[in-house]
Amino acid sequence: MAMKQAEDLREKYLRQSMFPTIFCDGCGIGNVLNYTLWAIDEIELDIDRTVFVSGIGCSSRLTGYVNADGLHTTHGRALAFATGVKVANPDLTVIVFTGDGDGSGIGGNHLLHTIRRNIDMTVILVNNYTYGMTGGQVAPTTPMGSITTTTPYGNSEWPLDVCEVARALGAPYVARWPVTFPYQPIKSIEQGIRKRGFALIEMLAPCPTAYGRRNNLRALDQSWKWYKDHSLLVEEYERIERFGTDAERATLQGKIKVGVFQDSERECFSDQWRAVVERVKLKA
């Protein structure tokens, strides 16, 4: 990959008047933006014909930093707004930035139905295990036992695996990477944008300020190391699951599957709709 300098990309794609960002030290959301810029530059995406849509939350602020058409909407509803944009003008490329609370909590139902319809869009869901902007409350993705401001004695709910849901619903492209992986996320975002249909890229990003400090992941090196130590490529994970010894299987405990979970083809909504229009449209 012929990489440009990060500064070149910032100059080319960012809205300088929006800086500095709202992000805290050690936050992984900025990395997600960088990976996205690398990806869109790599595939020479026409930025004038691209719309960035987001909901509410830290990661949903990303749309504001990109110098492109952006729709920063209401909490949880990014995919519904994005559906309107894409369906009304299928020639536009739609990229959604959302968070775990925004995209899978309050917006969970929209996620199901946007995948079901197979709206052609790329959803970059930043999962930091918490509601960061409001100061660190329990999210649908918060690991069992975690301490948050609303689970002061430890989380007693099972977390949601967003990628598993997307895969089960037949999303044509599903991947998960921690921001600590430098190249794979770029590749996945490229693949997601190129995919004709719904693409979900879940980015695991540390939130030292709101989540980490209550869960022994306050220091930057500590939290980045945690993601490295706990991530396991899906191929390796599934190999151990199927063929590993008991001792090997025991090591899977607490590990997070990462990688590309699904890469398939399925006719998207706009293609289906175009066929309907071709069939029934009146002749002038």
Reduced to 3 states, what is the DSSP secondary structure of residue 143? coil
Burial class (CB in 10 A: 0-12, 13-18, 19+), 82: buried
Of 43, 87, 232, 233, which one interacts with other proteins (CB under 8 A)? 87
- Distances, alpha carbon 172 to alpha carbons 155, 199, 254, in Å: 32, 6, 27
For residues 196 and 54, what is the distance between their CA atoms, to the nearest angstrom? 20
Kindly write out the interface string for residues 110-149 of this chain, putting x where it contacts other proteins by CB under 8 A and - elsewhere: x-xx------------------------------------
By the rule CB under 8 A, 68 interacts with other proteins: yes
**Residue 80 in contact with other proteins, rule: CB under 8 A:** yes
Using CB under 8 A, which residues numbered 220 to 249 contact other proteins?
A: none
Q: Is 83 in the site for other proteins (CB under 8 A)?
A: yes
Q: Which is nearer to other proteins, 69 or 238 (CB)?
A: 69
Q: What count of Cα atoms within 13 Å lies in the side-chain half-sphere of residue 80? A: 12
Single out the residue of 260, 250, 256 nearest to residue 228, CA to CA.
256
The answer to whether 18 contacts other proteins (rule: CB under 8 A) is: yes
- Assess 89 for contact with other proteins (CB under 8 A): yes
| Helical residues (DSSP H) of 118-180, grouped into ranges | 162-168
Positions in the binding site for other proteins (CB under 8 A): 15, 17-18, 47-49, 51, 53, 63-64, 67-74, 77, 80-85, 87-89, 91-92, 109-110, 112-113, 269, 273, 276-277, 280-282, 284
